[in-house]
């Protein structure tokens, strides 16, 4: 049933008289499984990397490559996703990503050497790169403006849930045997565990509709009307379609539009936030948490247990973000989050170098909490909101590719830098948090409560 959003007369055949929040939440949850797999398949490396290092006898740079090679695939996947989603539709592109998730999980579990492992993980990255762009894009395009922020944030909750779940899975697998067993076999089961959620994602995608905005762009207005009527009722649907058609009529269809005066500001905002989400260092903790705790003197199993706690905090504070993003707004959350992350990283540096003990865990948890309530979900919300309908897929690809390049550089070189600077490494990321704070204050507008078409028209008005 669900809460009524809108209603109207002259209901078209085959559509519902009233909209249903339950229906749009269902669509968001299915799409968000792509986010869950994003988190699961990127963070699984945190529990496996120590065992992989011993299995393949890796130095710090090769260790960084084994951990970050999937991110090269993420760049490729993000590049492909925009063109594929604009040509084939959001749903078919997500189905392809789901298939790649399953295939690559099997491949990463069965390698005979490092080369085979790297190939499988790059394929995983292609799936992650596609899902990282397509899941929030799909959710944004089916959601009413008043709850869009919360629903797109559900995707971030799915990401952190995937991270939390895989931390538990890694710890359970590691406890099934001793160090020697984990070096030979345990890490393989960590990667193989990703097959099940991939299959579930693929099957559920088969029952959801295509994005109504993509359908309108393809001239399939009747199908779009049916979807939007189920989401918000016929009156909402007719108004939305008129808005979408008007926006498309004033758009070009190429990436050149991003460099036109009306789109330069959203391009700078999208790319800037994508970079800053990563260079503030979150994946140093999410991908290398156990290695950081080992630097602080904790044993392997204790480090994995503390990593589980990081996953729980990450998920809990993402729930808070979902609750407040459409109440407090995007910009205030980003300002609070970047300031809190910077302070937490300074404390983490002091903890690793001087304080030790529980302060290492406390400062790491505080850092993750501030990220989870702000930069984690809100960056994806804004990236899904600020680009025009006709090129939203390709424009989000540009921003997402930049995000994954930044993520790769941080993840690749972190073990090398940590080995040399130890705790002082985190002062670099604290400085980036300061940059993020002033970038948000200066450049990022508030988009809370506005339709996607209203946001687009505002860029046009600013340019003129």
What string of DSSP letters covers 101-159? HHHHHHHHHS-SSHHHHHHHHHHHHHHHHHHHHHHHHHHHHHS-HHHHHHHHHHHHHHH
- Cα distance between residue 318 and residue 446, in whole Å: 20
- CATH number for position 181: 1.20.1250.20
Residue 41 near residue 69 (C-beta atoms within 8 A): no
Can you list the pairs that 258-265 forms with residues at least 24 positions away whose Cβ atoms lie under 8 Å?
258/387, 258/391, 258/395, 258/398, 260/463, 261/463, 262/459, 262/460, 262/462, 262/463, 262/464, 263/387, 263/388, 263/395, 263/459, 264/463, 265/443, 265/459, 265/462
With tokens 């008007």, the residue in question is 246
Tell me phi and psi for residue 178, to 5 degrees.
-85, -175
Positive or negative torsion for Cα 76, 91, 377, 103:
negative
- Report pLDDT for 389: 66
- Report pLDDT for 3: 37
Tell me phi and psi for residue 7, to 5 degrees.
-150, 165
- What's the number of domains the chain is made of? 1
Residue 161 near residue 36 (C-beta atoms within 8 A): yes
Domain range for residue 78? 21-208+250-463
- Cα distance between residue 425 and residue 325, in whole Å: 31
- Cα distance between residue 70 and residue 355, in whole Å: 35
Could you say which DSSP state residue 211 is in?
Answer: P
- Report pLDDT for 108: 94
Residue 3, Ramachandran bin (φ over 0: left; ψ between -120 and 50: alpha; else beta): beta
- Report pLDDT for 44: 92
In a domain, 197, yes or no: yes
In a domain, 117, yes or no: yes
Rg of the chain, C-alpha, whole Å: 22
CA distances in angstroms from 391 to 35, 258, 315, listed in the order given = 22, 9, 32
CA distances in angstroms from 328 to 139, 230, 332, 334, 336, listed in the order given = 20, 28, 7, 11, 11
In a domain, 243, yes or no: no
In a domain, 231, yes or no: no
What does the DSSP assignment read for 53-94?
Answer: HHHHT--HHHHHHHHHHHHHHHHHHHHHHHHHHHHH-HHHHH
- Report pLDDT for 96: 96
- Cα distance between residue 192 and residue 194, in whole Å: 5
- In sequence order, the 6+-apart residues with CB closer than 8 A to the CB of 165 are 36, 40, 311
- Report pLDDT for 244: 79
- Report pLDDT for 1: 34
- Cα distance between residue 74 and residue 364, in whole Å: 26
- Give me the count of residues in the chain: 464
Residue 395 near residue 456 (C-beta atoms within 8 A): no
CA proximity to 452, closest of 209, 266, 319, 318? 266
Chain mean position to CA 236: 29
In a domain, 213, yes or no: no
In a domain, 244, yes or no: no
In a domain, 104, yes or no: yes
3-state helix, strand, coil in the chain (%, to 5): 85, 0, 15
In a domain, 363, yes or no: yes
- In sequence order, the 6+-apart residues with CB closer than 8 A to the CB of 158 are 32, 33, 34, 35, 36, 38, 39, 135
| Run means of pLDDT, 10 residues per run, the chain, 464 residues | 36 49 89 93 88 88 87 88 86 95 95 93 94 88 80 83 90 90 92 95 94 87 86 81 76 64 80 94 82 69 75 88 83 94 94 80 92 89 78 76 88 85 90 96 83 74 68
pTM for this model (two decimals): 0.73
- Cα distance between residue 233 and residue 237, in whole Å: 6
């Amino acid at each position: 049933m669900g809460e009524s959003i809108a209603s109207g007369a002259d209901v078209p055949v085959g559509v519902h008289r009233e909209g249903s929040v339950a229906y749009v939440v269902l669509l968001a949850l299915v799409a968000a499984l792509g986010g869950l797999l994003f988190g699961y398949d990127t963070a699984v490396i945190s529990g496996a990397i120590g065992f992989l290092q011993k299995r393949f006898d890796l130095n710090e740079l090769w260790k960084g490559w084994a951990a970050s090679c999937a991110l090269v695939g993420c760049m490729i996947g993000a590049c492909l996703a925009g063109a594929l989603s604009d040509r084939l539709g959001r749903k078919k592109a997500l189905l392809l990503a789901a298939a790649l998730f399953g295939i690559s999980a099997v491949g990463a579990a069965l390698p005979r050497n490092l080369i085979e492992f790297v190939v499988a993980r790059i394929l995983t990255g292609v799936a992650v790169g596609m899902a990282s762009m397509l899941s929030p894009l799909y959710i944004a395009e089916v959601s009413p403006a008043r709850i869009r922020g919360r629903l797109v944030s559900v995707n971030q909750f799915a990401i952190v849930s995937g991270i939390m779940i895989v931390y538990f899975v890694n710890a359970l697998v590691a406890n099934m045997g001793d160090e020697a067993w984990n070096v030979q076999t345990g890490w393989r089961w960590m990667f193989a565990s990703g097959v099940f959620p991939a299959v579930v994602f693929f099957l559920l995608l088969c029952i959801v509709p295509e994005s109504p905005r993509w359908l309108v762009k393809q001239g399939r207005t009747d199908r779009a009307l049916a979807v939007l009527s189920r989401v918000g009722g016929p009156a909402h649907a007719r108004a939305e379609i008129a808005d979408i058609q008007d926006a498309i009529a004033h758009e070009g269809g190429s990436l050149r539009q991003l460099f036109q005066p009306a789109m330069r500001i959203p391009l700078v905002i999208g790319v800037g936030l994508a970079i800053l989400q990563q260079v503030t260092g979150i994946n140093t903790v999410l991908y290398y948490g156990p290695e950081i705790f080992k630097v602080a003197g904790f044993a392997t199993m204790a480090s994995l247990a503390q990593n589980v706690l990081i996953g729980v905090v990450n998920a809990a504070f993402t729930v808070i973000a979902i609750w407040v993003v459409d109440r407090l707004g995007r910009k205030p959350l980003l300002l609070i989050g970047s300031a809190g992350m910077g302070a937490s990283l300074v404390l983490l540096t002091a903890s690793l170098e001087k304080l030790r003990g529980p302060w290492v865990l406390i400062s790491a948890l505080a850092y993750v909490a501030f990220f989870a309530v702000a930069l984690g979900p809100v960056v994806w919300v804004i990236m899904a909101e600020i680009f025009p309908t006709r090129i939203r897929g390709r424009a989000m690809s540009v921003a997402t590719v930049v995000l994954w390049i930044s993520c790769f550089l941080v993840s690749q070189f972190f073990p090398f830098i940590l080995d040399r600077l130890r705790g002082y490494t985190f002062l670099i990321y604290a400085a980036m948090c300061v940059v993020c704070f002033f970038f948000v204050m200066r450049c990022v507008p508030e988009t809370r409560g506005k339709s996607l078409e209203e946001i687009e028209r505002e860029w046009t008005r600013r340019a003129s």
